Chains A and B, each alone.
Chain A
Amino acid sequence: AQSVTQLDSQVPVFEEAPVELRCNYSSSVSVYLFWYVQYPNQGLQLLLKYLSGSTLVKGINGFEAEFNKSQTSFHLRKPSVHISDTAEYFCAVSFQGAQKLVFGQGTRLTINP
């Protein structure tokens, strides 16, 4: 079955600390991978995407993610977080280029001063 799992529902970190938000998927077909951010009372904004090529992709706001095919993972990282990074982060997958996106459960990132 095709599914997306975000392993952490909440991640609290201190300001300027590094953070990793985990995403794993289950699929026997090729995938496109995405990370979206949702700030309070707003819609979703695309952070970054992996389609093919280099497994390390860089996105907006200093975020990056690494595609690991053998571990079927696409973890999101940032070396130093800021208060303004407080938001909900969603991993999403398109299976075999399908138009439909399947979303993970979301991870709430909270930055403490």
Chain B
Amino acid sequence: SAVISQKPSRDICQRGTSLTIQCQVDSQVTMMFWYRQQPGQSLTLIATANQGSEATYESGFVIDKFPISRPNLTFSTLTVSNMSPEDSSIYLCSVGDRAGDGYTFGSGTRLTVV
């Protein structure tokens, strides 16, 4: 299965600033996903990123707040913009081309907004 490198692993940011999270995969994949895991909660899908097209956002998430780039088949970034303390969460990227294969997850970015 694919190996994912996600950076940074954690960060503490000031409110009103932005943080860009990187996800690098060791093989080419069509589908990349970004999830949010709020403290003590389950995972919620933010958006699906396909190479060469606009990301598809889930209900409750908008591009202005969470812009995503997908420049090639091995890399994606998620930016958390104009951060507030409510954005404090773990953000995870995930890859998988077929639902039946299961998905591989990065180790996550633990974000704290102060």
Contacts and interface: CB of A to CB of B under 8 A. Distances in A.
Interface of A: 32, 34, 36, 41-46, 49, 51, 90, 94, 97-101, 103-106
Interface string B48-65: 100000000000000000
Contacts of A36: 105
B100 A32 contact: yes
Nearest to B107: A43
Contacts of B108: 42-43
Most chain-B CB neighbours within 10 Å: which of A43, A90, A106?
A43
A100 B55 CA distance: 13
B78 to A, nearest CB: 15
Given A100-B48, A103-B42, A104-B42, 6 more contacts: A44-B105, A45-B105, A51-B100, A99-B48, A100-B33, A101-B45
A100 B31 CA distance: 10
Q: How many of chain B's residues touch chain A, expressed as a range?
A: 20 to 34
B79 to A, nearest CB: 20
A43 B102 contact: no
Contacts of B1: 46
Interface of B: 1, 4, 6, 31, 33, 41-45, 48, 92, 94, 96, 99-100, 102-108, 110
B92 A44 contact: yes
10 contacts: A34-B102, A42-B108, A43-B4, A43-B6, A43-B108, A44-B43, A90-B42, A90-B43, A100-B45, A103-B43
Nearest to B93: A43
Contacts of B102: 34, 46, 49
A29 to B, nearest CB: 12
Most chain-B CB neighbours within 10 Å: which of A97, A101, A106?
A101
